[in-house]
Structure 1
Amino acid sequence: MKTYRHLFFDLDHTLWDFEKNADETLRHLFELHQLGRYGTFGVEEFIGVYSSINHALWRLYQGNKISQQQLRAVRFTRTLTKLGVPENEVPATISQEFTNLLPRKAAVFPFTHEVLDYLQTKYTLHLITNGFQDVQHIKLTSSGLTPYFQEVITSEHSGFLKPDRRMFAHALERTGATAAESLMIGDNLECDVLGAYNAGIDQVYFNPERRRHFTSVTHEIACLSELKSFL
């Protein structure tokens, strides 16, 4: 069995339960702005349309085709106008409210704290994330994850986005780790698995929904507790 010294985790969708936390935040904003008054859509449709548009925008952002500011500026306008809300009636504050409220949510995936408690006694733990720097540290504090990680490497700080191998090279340089002694754990086959592979780093694909794929990975898990079986 290969010996690792440094473990690099993705944050959103891997440790911090983005979907659950976003769902709670979107429900709050739906009520706050009384979006049900339009009578043409409910909260479930609002969340579904937002999620689809947000995911598409994130793919553009990760492909360096739009900026962080552009992503934040248009996602709610596109969501609500698609649902039939006149553009001049889209709440001007809703995007900033989402940005303020979401990172203060605390839901994490099952066994997150238990597994990190176990791993931190054996390895040096780090985070490497494409998430926006101004909110990632709030998420870590809100969910009690801050103490586990020695370094938090964000795309904004490094100047590159996963899967760019230069982001992984930056992470190795910043942490003093080598590729051979490192392991990347994340939910995204392109950003986390392929990015780490291209940087010469072994990977763990976190696949809780057991999505079918044809990508070769070093390890694959459906629950974080499975990390304890080989680490």
Structure 2
Amino acid sequence: MKTNKVAHIFFDLDHTLWDFERNSALAFTEIFKKNDLQIDITTFLKTYIPINNFYWGKYRNNLVTKADLRYGRLNDTFTELAMQVSQEQIHNLSEDYIAHLPNNNYLFDDAQHTLEKLQQKYTLHVITNGFSEVQNLKLNNSKIDHYFRTITTSEEVGVKKPHPEIFEYALQKANAHPEQSVMIGDNIEADILGAEKFGMSSILFDGENVNDYSGKKVNQLKQLLEIL
């Protein structure tokens, strides 16, 4: 992929640069303690993570609202675990989780180093389906916001990846063209196929090496320096 044409690199944030699962687990540990909820965090996450992924899939396709996602993923998890948690407490936990999530900001290995090196050659940007108020805090608190010329969130645009409109909006904001742009993300549907449908190149970040994907793929962020 090393070519003089590439000038702009667009990153997803969660699960790509920002270690969402690690930071999320720490946030839940904090809010369960704060709310005096007795539950083993490992047991909770084993049930919660696939439910959360299911809701995010529905959210990407406009089948649930942000409020539905925030409440439903917790309600369904507690139901699956046969835990009696009131609606009021679930709403409180939902708000606490969003407030605590940006407090822990572990990045994937080599994120800072990779961004530092890439910034010397390319203009960097972010396109994220995450909630605007949280994503900006994550970028600032993890001290990587300064690497990016533009930040585009789905709430800002009104549509989510993989919808072509968010890529069109982000590239216009960045004054970039599809043929000179690369999208890097962890989600095949949202990041990879969405970008390619819009005419961009893409690279899958597969940190756990679990995706059977035949296109460009890295398991470590530092590998990007070898192919870009």
* TM-score of Structure 1 vs Structure 2, range by shorter chain: over 0.9
In the TM superposition, what is the alpha-carbon distance from 1:134 to its structure 2 partner? 1.2
Deviations 1:131-164 (A, max 9, x none): 1111100000110011000100011111211011
Deviations 1:79-112 (A, max 9, x none): 2232222243762411100000002211000000
**1:50 corresponds to 2:51:** no
The more displaced of 82-91 and 220-229 is 82-91
The 3 A distance-change label for structure 1 pair 61 and 89 is: closer
Q: Distance in 2 between matches of 1:65 and 1:230?
A: 37
**1:222 corresponds to 2:213:** no
Provide the residue aligned with 1:202 in structure 2.
201
Identity, in percent, stands at: 36
> 5+ unaligned residues in a row in structure 1: which ranges?
none
Q: Distance in 2 between matches of 1:200 and 1:121?
A: 25
Q: Distance in 2 between matches of 1:128 and 1:59?
A: 17
Secondary structure in 2 matching 1:14 = coil
Contact 2:25 2:45 (C-alpha < 8 Å) held by counterparts: yes
Secondary structure in 2 matching 1:152 = strand
Provide the residue aligned with 2:135 in structure 1.
136
**Aligned positions, number:** 225
Kindly provide the amino acid, as one letter, of the partner of residue 8 in structure 2.
H
CA RMSD in angstroms, aligned pairs only: 1.5
Q: Distance in 2 between matches of 1:212 and 1:25?
A: 27
Q: Distance in 2 between matches of 1:69 and 1:95?
A: 9
Provide the residue aligned with 2:23 in structure 1.
21
Contact 2:18 2:107 (C-alpha < 8 Å) held by counterparts: yes
> 5+ unaligned residues in a row in structure 2: which ranges?
none
**1:165 corresponds to 2:164:** yes
Q: Distance in 2 between matches of 1:188 and 1:226?
A: 18
**1:79 corresponds to 2:77:** yes
